[in-house]
Structure 1
Amino acid sequence: MADESNGYESIATIYIKGRGQEVNGIGSSTVRAWARTFNKGNVILDIGCSTGIPVTKILLEEALTAYALDASPTMIDTFRQHFPQVPAACESVEQSAFFNRSFDGIIAVGLVFLLSEENQRALIAKMAAALNPGGKLLFTAPLDKVEWKDVMTGQFSRSLGGLQYSELMTAAGLSIMSEFEDEGKNHYFGASRPA
């Protein structure tokens, strides 16, 4: 059976002890700034939520309603310990029905580039389709088209590159809003569904 967590279930304990507890880690200020662009109570899906720290924690602190998704059973168990009130599913993004609902925002930090090129293309269209009119998408992936072997999981990751991501978002009916880097040089792509 394939590892739907892209290697993260096998290193979940290590991840949780390290990055899975960084409340104010790299990217936290970026996520908080994005969260503040929503109205209180708006519904946001955190894809690849891991432990929920920091992304889901920030969403809740900003008075947003969160849903969460991760393919690692260990990550989801830890997430549920942190945030028992948040609907959370242990599913791969490829198989998930996204709770059979739409969202005001979808965020995917550290996930998209873990997938095959085919699955990345499908995911961008799927995320776009799950946004309410006026909804916003934010995800991370390297700006350049590149492939590398992940140090922690030993699995291959790949970025389709900024031009390809922009084309995919536009083809999915999204308007490109922004591209930027955080203090850790992580590249973000932001888009919105027209109202």
Structure 2
Amino acid sequence: MNKRNKEKVYEAYEEIVDWFDGARTKTLMESEYLDLIVKSVPANGSVLDLGCGTGEPIAQFFIDKGFKITGVDGSKKMIELCKKRFPAEQWIVSDMREINIQKRFDVILAWHSFFHLDQDSQRKMFKIFETHIKPGGILAFTSGEEEGEVWSDNGGQQLYHASLSANEYQSLLKAMSFKVLVHKVCDPKCGEATVWVAQKT
């Protein structure tokens, strides 16, 4: 098993795209949070999906609700799948840390992607979130349950994960004028995900 450069975890996903697409649950265990997001923003709004993967099931959920998706992923193979599945949406091959889309969105998602960034990169992302979100917009991301770094086996690839402390996430959100709506640690109904949903004030 190969430990890839933690700076570019998306390169490892290039090797396991088929495994990931098959293994990724499509049952929308995230629906509680996705429904909250939809209720909190204007109908038929815009979504910036950072680390969009193969587009299923998260991007598909929003497309089915009438939202317009701009999906970003560092994996070319994942973006190719997104383009094939949802050709009417915008799909961009890019490291999320390097985006500058010149547009603001109603929703920004960094679901099961943000935690692949190292701790310093995560801190810097909050300015990127703030730059790309509309007033009243919703930011949703998943983190680790506590501060630290881990590697885990995913389809034979060792993938890097990192997290800041809950207090630091709270401070970073507050500094960019986000109000935390939900912070759920290890939600058993959502695959033990630790979820943050915040609204730009």
Find the counterpart in structure 2 of residue 167 from structure 1: 171
Matched, 1:24 2:24: no
Shift of 1:25: 4.1
Q: Distance in 1 between matches of 2:95 and 2:86?
A: 20
Find the counterpart in structure 2 of residue 83 from structure 1: 86
**Residues 35 and 145 of structure 1: CA distance in aligned 2, closer, same or farther (over 3 Å):** same
Find the counterpart in structure 1 of residue 183 from structure 2: 179
Where is the strand percentage greater, Structure 1 or Structure 2?
Answer: 2
Secondary structure of 1:127's aligned partner: helix
Q: Distance in 2 between matches of 1:91 and 1:51?
A: 14
% identical equivalent positions: 21
Map residues 1-195 of structure 1 onto 2, 5 A cutoff: 3=8, 5=10, 7-19=12-24, 22-97=25-100, 99-152=101-154, 153-180=157-184, 181=187, 183=189, 184-194=191-201
Secondary structure of 1:94's aligned partner: helix
Shift of 1:156: 2.3
Q: Distance in 2 between matches of 1:36 and 1:133?
A: 15
Q: Distance in 2 between matches of 1:23 and 1:3?
A: 25
Asked if 1 retains the 8 angstrom alpha-carbon contact of 2:37 and 2:138, the reply is no
Question: Which stretch shows the higher mean deviation, 56-65 or 2-11?
Answer: 2-11
Shift of 1:94: 1.2
Shift of 1:166: 0.9
RMSD of aligned alpha carbons: 1.9
In the alignment, residue 73 of structure 2 is paired with which amino acid? D
Deviations 1:5-27 (A, max 9, x none): 152122212112221xx331432
Secondary structure of 1:143's aligned partner: coil
Q: Distance in 2 between matches of 1:118 and 1:63?
A: 35
Asked if 2 retains the 8 angstrom alpha-carbon contact of 1:140 and 1:189, the reply is yes
Where is the helix percentage greater, Structure 1 or Structure 2?
Answer: 2
TM-score of the superposition, structure 1-length normalised? 0.90
Deviations 1:72-117 (A, max 9, x none): 00100001111000001010011121x3211111011101110011
Asked if 1 retains the 8 angstrom alpha-carbon contact of 2:40 and 2:138, the reply is no
TM-score of the superposition, structure 2-length normalised? 0.87
Secondary structure of 1:80's aligned partner: helix
Unaligned 5+ residue runs, structure 2? none
Question: Which stretch shows the higher mean deviation, 49-58 or 175-184?
Answer: 175-184
Shift of 1:182: 5.6
Shift of 1:126: 0.8
Secondary structure of 1:74's aligned partner: helix
Unaligned 5+ residue runs, structure 1? none
Q: Distance in 1 between matches of 2:49 and 2:188?
A: 18
Please identify runs of 4+ aligned residues in structure 1 that moved more than 6 A. Answer: none
Question: Which stretch shows the higher mean deviation, 177-186 or 68-77?
Answer: 177-186
